[in-house]
Amino acid sequence: MTTNDLTQLLTTITPASQKAYDACIYHLDHIAKPIGSLGKLESLLADIAGASGTPLINIEKKCVLVFCADNGVLAQGVAQSTHEVTTAITQSLVRHTTSVCAMAKAADADVFPIDMGMIDTVEGLLPCSVAKGTCDISQGAAMTRQQAVGAICTGIELVRQKKEEGYRLIATGEAGIGNTTTSSAVLSVLLNQPVELVTGRGSGLSDEGLKRKQNAIRQAIAVNQPDPSDPLDVLSKLGGFDIAAMCGAFIGGALCHIPVIMDGFISGVAALCAIRLNPLIRGYILPSHITAEPAGQMLMKEMGFAPMIHGDMRLGEGTGAVALMPLLDLAVSVYYNAASFDDIHVEKYEKWK
């Protein structure tokens, strides 16, 4: 697919269904409880209805797509670890022993780890590699524009496949040492914010390590001169294959009318890229948690999201997104199983205006 093809595909996205959203709220308002008393759980259910196009909510079959990739900027000492840690994490993903796998088991969700561009080959990953890691963004573009489009298309296609397999709720996750650096770089440009305001310590950098990370991002922006009005330009020059693929997953959710759960910082940056490509995509994204990264609040405010979970999580892998799933299951149980005002012969509460 070319850039023009992707641009054309984006024009086919339609808004989430306001009719289904309103019907969901109408049903919730007739359940025997104070109106709106489940707070954000109610708005999330309505968002699911709107994204799915029906108030008949069904999220029984759910999964998390974990996009795995290596980043050339590691050469600048921006992380405590080397790419071998990405390899080790993905091997654990294949064995179903990582944190997200343990959480997904409890949430009755399936985990699909995907090789989007790792240096090492790991058997058992879905083979979707664009290249053996990105280039060092401090020296030049992370990838070509066509590679970015290719990674985005992979994300779109995986969502299509999962919907065909019967999944009705998809979470996004990632694994790749150095991807808070690429995410911070992309966010700095898209929000026109100073590097130091959007760059955190990642998995736990020292003061010296944080300075190296910030300097690498400043150099990357200076070298590449990305165009903030062109999300694809920013993504290809400063991002990673994992971010591009997650951006594609959010686009895929909008194209396939299936809600996609956003995880933390890296997933959030990918969501912002997707929304910048077409603002209608926002209606198909469910926020899960507010990241402990310093730009977390800034990112949520930009997209107009109010996440359910405030847990200072920063693990990645899609753990925050999966943590939302049991809460949604609880809300769906109320939606279908709780008594209505008519059932208990009590006059319905009226909304205060």
Task: Look up residue 233 and give its two tokens.
Answer: 């330009």
Q: What's the Rg (C-alpha) of the chain?
A: 20
Whether the pLDDT of residue 352 is over 70: the answer is no
The pLDDT > 90 percentage for the chain reads 92
Q: How does DSSP assign 229-296, residue by residue?
A: T-HHHHHHHH--HHHHHHHHHHHHHHHHT--EEE-SHHHHHHHHHHHHH-GGGGGGEEE-B--SSTTH
E strands, 123-250, are: 126-127, 169-175
What 3-state class would DSSP assign to 216? Answer: helix
Under 8 Å between Cβ of 280 and 250:
no
Catalogue all structural domains in the chain, each as residue range(s) with its CATH number: 59-326 (3.40.50.10210)
Q: pLDDT, tens digit, for every residue of 37-84?
A: 999 999 999 999 999 999 999 999 999 999 999 999 999 999 988 999
Beta-carbon contacts of 4 under 8 Å, excluding residues fewer than 6 positions away, are none
Q: How far apart are CA 309 and CA 327, in angstroms?
A: 10
Q: How far apart are CA 197 and CA 195, in angstroms?
A: 5
Q: pLDDT, tens digit, for every residue of 218-264?
A: 999 999 999 999 999 999 999 999 999 999 999 999 999 999 999 99
Mean pLDDT of the region 110-132? 98
- The pLDDT value recorded for residue 353 is 56
Report, as residue numbers or ranges, the catalytic residues.
Answer: 317
- Helices 207-224/231-238 angle, 10° precision: 130
Which of 319, 97, 327, 81 is CA-nearest to residue 202? 81
The answer to whether the predicted template modeling score (pTM) of the entire model surpasses 0.85 is: yes
